[in-house]
Structure 1
Amino acid sequence: MSDAPKYIVRRLELSDAGAFYSAVRESIDELVYWMPWCSKDYTPLDAENWIKTTMQLWAADAEYPLGIFDAVSGAVIGGTGVNHINRAYRIGNIGYWVSSQHTGQGVARFAAHHSALLGFSQLGLTRLEIVVLTHNKASQRVAESLGAKLECEARNRLYFQGKPHNALVYSLVPGDLR
């Protein structure tokens, strides 16, 4: 049995645009529901523009989007990263999504763990939040599997499908990581 990782988490490159587009299209029905950036008419140009945006965000030290890749095939299977950074308070947010055919396999946990390591080790953050809609049970399980602590249900915390919604706020500090 091999101990080689099944997944790789790294910065996106322009050469990943086609694979990123394929992952989004394969999961379009689920992503349209959860992700405000996704629409039924998502195009290859949208994928390319997103990757260019990720490069700009990294260059500006503003946000740190990452791709999730199958270690064997190199296919894009999702995204993660650290965003909503407040440098004065050394806090940020972790987000993640996984293509439909790869859900339930530990991909989101693996990727979110890598984002947390980036936040704590490389960015010097001391607190990371994972903010989850109250009905998103899968994301709640990911947060809990990382060792994140549920702090509260925050009223009107996320704007979702055109309306404010309550969300659960989980926190991670460096000692929490499992």
Structure 2
Amino acid sequence: MTSAFRPVIRRFVDTDAPSFLAAVQASPEALARWMPWWKADYALADAQAWIDHTCKVWQEGKDRLFGIFDAGTGAVIGGTGINRIDPAHRTGNIGYWVSTPCTKRGVARFAAREMARFGFSELGLTRLEIVALPGNAASIRVAEAVGAQRECLARNRVWLGGQAHDALVFSLVPEDAARW
């Protein structure tokens, strides 16, 4: 990351919807390929519904979903979070996406590390997974860059585009984060 560009992670607020929409609209090829929620006619109402959803799951004690923002402009540049939280087994899944104009700046790597720190220290989790489709080279590079251990190719692990896909499963444990 350059000194002129600094990402920050925080919870979404209602006024972030137009900026979230702009980030989504700037990334159609990347999002269409990897994100099940993307659609060609993604609109402001969809962005607002997503922000409402992030607030609802926080209140319910479920997923912890955040926006990634440019600290200088306040613009949404992506999203991250921990989902599939299982309190009984102290596990969860780290997810991230970065708007195309902001890729290749270390933003996803920053987000993955921040989510791991948050998951281990704030949520008391003992294992976090990063799940990536084999063709998603950028996500695989992020998992490797943060020191996640590649564990397996899990059959039918991800549902995308109306069908099941095999996916690579990487894991992080608190000892991995301690090395950062």
Please say whether Structure 1 and Structure 2 have the same fold, judged by a TM-score greater than 0.5: yes
Give the whole-Å Cα distance in 2 for the aligned partners of 1:150 and 1:140: 9
Q: Which residue of 2 aligns with 1:108?
A: 108
How far is the alpha carbon of 1:5 from its aligned partner? 7.3
Partners of 2:5 and 2:72 within 8 A in 1? no
Confirm whether residue 172 of structure 1 aligns to residue 172 of structure 2.
yes
SS at match of 1:95: strand
Q: Which residue of 1 aligns with 2:44?
A: 44
Q: Could you tell me which amino acid in structure 2 is paired with residue 123 of structure 1?
A: L
Confirm whether residue 59 of structure 1 aligns to residue 73 of structure 2.
no
How far is the alpha carbon of 1:29 from its aligned partner? 2.6
Q: Which residue of 2 aligns with 1:22?
A: 22
RMSD between aligned residues? 1.4
Q: Which residue of 2 aligns with 1:156?
A: 156
Q: Could you tell me which amino acid in structure 1 is paired with residue 155 of structure 2?
A: R
How far is the alpha carbon of 1:126 from its aligned partner? 0.4
How far is the alpha carbon of 1:160 from its aligned partner? 2.0
SS at match of 1:151: strand
Give the TM-score of the pair, scaled to structure 1: 0.95
- Point out where structure 1 has 5 or more consecutive residues left out of the alignment: none
Question: Residues 116-155 of structure 1: CA distance to partner in whole angstroms, max 9, x if unpaired?
Answer: 1111110110000001101111101100111100011111
Q: Which residue of 1 aligns with 2:146?
A: 146
Partners of 2:28 and 2:40 within 8 A in 1? yes
Q: Report runs of 4+ in structure 1 exceeding 6 Å deviation.
A: 2-5
SS at match of 2:39: coil
SS at match of 1:159: strand
- Point out where structure 2 has 5 or more consecutive residues left out of the alignment: none
Q: Identity, % of aligned pairs?
A: 53
